[in-house]
A and B are shown apart, each in its own frame.
Chain A
Amino acid sequence: MKQMRPNDMMLQVSMRLITLIIFAFSFYLFLAGHNNPGGGFIGGLMTASAILVLYLAFDMKTIKKAIPFNFTTMIGVGLLFAVFTGVASMLFGFPFLKHFFDYFQFPIFGEVELTTALPFDLGVYLVVVGAALTIILAIAEDDK
């Protein structure tokens, strides 16, 4: 039997909606990590899975054009974020990775606690997204 090009309309339309929800939820998990279950690791894994679902629904070239990130450099950027938060406290005479926090007033959110753990977590997040997608795309990229 000849190979027919399948019409993935159902998958593609629903994935457009579903990836939005997954992205929003992964961002929520990333921000909620300080006081609730969540954090950089599962937030990053969830973002990676959202991008993976896009790769499943569309073909490789389309997504490469839509998300033009190099995921290998993303690992490097994440590690730089993590190291920078550690070194930044050393610059002010505190030990490596000393943690600071303070409360700020924002117009919409009200009082918000901002900590230096957040940029560190952002580093973890970027490393996880980059590593997961690099592994999966390296396996998947066998076709010409």
Chain B
Amino acid sequence: MNVNEISEFIAAVLMLAGSIMAVISAVGIIRFPDVYTRSHAGTKSSTLAVLLTLLGAFLYFAIAEAFVSVRLLLGILFVFLTAPVAGHLIIRAAYRAHVEMADITIEDELKEVISQKEEEKDQSHLR
């Protein structure tokens, strides 16, 4: 195998792994019971899927065509930075809108914290 074939093979493997990740994340979004677990599937594995696919494209162009695409690197960095924040914000909005958790949920630690904060606020208003 020469260099081109090896680079094509590596890129193909990375992209295949990325697409399998995307399929897994889609299955997770359908199968999980509530918003919180669904976002767990949707945020993490689809981020990894995009990262693997972009990395495959980047490696292919870097080795086979000797073209280092800064835009692909920037895209990897950007998706890596933004996707978790987006998931965090959506889920926070869902929690504050009192979206129900699934029945199998055992513990909700945030509930105590938020009710405590509200009590403190009420008391400071009374003073």
Interface, chain A (partner B; CB < 8 A): 1-2, 4, 6, 10-11, 14, 17-18, 21, 25
| B31 proximal to A (CB < 8 A) | no
The answer on a CB contact under 8 Å between B85 and A21 is: no
The answer on a CB contact under 8 Å between A10 and B77 is: no
| B118 proximal to A (CB < 8 A) | yes
The answer on a CB contact under 8 Å between B85 and A4 is: no
Chain A contact residues: helix, strand, loop or mixed: helix
Can you offer 8 A-B residue contacts whose CB atoms are under 8 A? A4-B117, A6-B92, A6-B96, A10-B88, A10-B89, A14-B81, A21-B74, A21-B81
Chain B contact residues: helix, strand, loop or mixed: helix
Cα(A8)–Cα(B71), bound, Å? 29
Q: Which residues on B sit within 8 Å (CB–CB) of A1?
A: 118
Cα(A10)–Cα(B87), bound, Å? 11
The answer on a CB contact under 8 Å between B89 and A18 is: no
Cα(A14)–Cα(B81), bound, Å? 7
Q: Which residues on A sit within 8 Å (CB–CB) of B4?
A: none
Q: Which residues on A sit within 8 Å (CB–CB) of B121?
A: 2, 4
Q: Which residues on B sit within 8 Å (CB–CB) of A14?
A: 81-82, 85
The answer on a CB contact under 8 Å between B118 and A11 is: no
What residue of chain B has the Cβ atom nearest to residue A22's Cβ? B78
> In the complex, which residues 59-100 of chain B have their Cβ closer than 8 Å to any Cβ of chain A?
71, 74, 77-78, 81-82, 85, 88-89, 92, 96
Q: Which residues on B sit within 8 Å (CB–CB) of A21?
A: 74, 77-78, 81
